[in-house]
Amino acid sequence: MTFPYKLVATDLDGTLLRDDETVSARTREALAAVTAAGAAHIIVTGRAVPWTRHVLDDLGYDGLAVCGQGAQVYHAGEHRLLTSLTLDRQLAGLALSKVEAEIGPLALAASRDGLDGEVLVGPGYRVQEGPRPAVFVQDPAEMWAAPLNKVYIQHPDLDDDALARAARAAVGNLVDVVMAGPGVVEILPLGLSKATGLSLAARRLGVKAADTIAFGDMPNDIPMFAWAEHGVAMANAHEDLKAVAQEITASNEDDGIAVVLEQLLRES
């Protein structure tokens, strides 16, 4: 059996993972079938490695993963970081001051670099439940004391889309801003995206964009869809991603990845 793509790139939250953070047996079987047919599977997530590693271990996943919005290429089998790009903290601070000058004070959190990088949370930031405890800091200076992959921002009044738009307009070409999920707006190094990380990982595997099918659900997946040959949005995806997808499948709760992969396998 042949499979039409050499690489299957899947986002994690809202895409590969169901809402209870598990991967269904059907989706696991579909991914196993495409890898048996010769394709590679790469997880491409906004989560940094420390927040991704337990999911990969549970899946028995030992290949490459792109984490931290493309900042980190991680070898899951060897528990080793292959690449890691950090945020220029001086530029990030300047960008944040520009945003706050336009829309008022922000609540901040920050993701430290490294295999065990902590998420530091400043006053007023609303923390989502996760596999690793956040570290609360009262002195904002603590947040900037060590290398960071990204900074998270929240606003008391603006919703995610409005905050991302306002921040993007204010920062100019200092940094990039993405909306990565509910309550998750991020400041990233300029030019960094899931596409940059995925292209690095694909090069290591000897695979090209033309050989890639990608699955996602949020605006931070738009660059990945632009890079890949075929982009598939989940039924639960943000409208901005659906607008650029070549195909829309079932939701993450309804095995949307498996639906597409099974069909491609039947046709191959």
pLDDT digits over 176-185, tens only?
Answer: 999 998 999 9
pLDDT at residue number 131: 63
Segments of the chain with pLDDT less than 70: 1, 130-132
**Separation between Cα atoms, residue 230 and residue 39, nearest integer Å:** 15
pLDDT at residue number 58: 87
pLDDT at residue number 130: 66
Compute the radius of gyration of the chain from its Cα atoms: 18
pLDDT at residue number 36: 95
Measure Cα distances from 106 to 3, 44, 109, 161 in Å: 47, 28, 10, 15
pLDDT at residue number 132: 66
Q: Of 174, 199, 160, nearest to 64 (Cα)? A: 199
Burial class (CB in 10 A: 0-12, 13-18, 19+), 248: middle
pLDDT at residue number 12: 96
Residue whose structure tokens are 């989940």? 234
pLDDT at residue number 176: 96
Query: Which residues, at least 6 apart from 258, have a Cβ–Cβ distance to it below 8 Å?
Result: 24, 26, 27, 29, 30
Compute the residue count for the chain: 268
How many C-beta atoms lie closer than 10 Å to residue 60's C-beta?
Answer: 10
**Separation between Cα atoms, residue 12 and residue 1, nearest integer Å:** 27
How many C-beta atoms lie closer than 10 Å to residue 2's C-beta?
Answer: 8
User: Tell me, what DSSP letter sits at residue 86?
Assistant: -
pLDDT at residue number 1: 59
**Separation between Cα atoms, residue 49 and residue 147, nearest integer Å:** 15
pLDDT at residue number 170: 97
- CB-based contact 222:195 (threshold 8 Å): no
pLDDT at residue number 2: 79
Torsion of CA 90, 94, 100, 105, to 10 degrees: 20
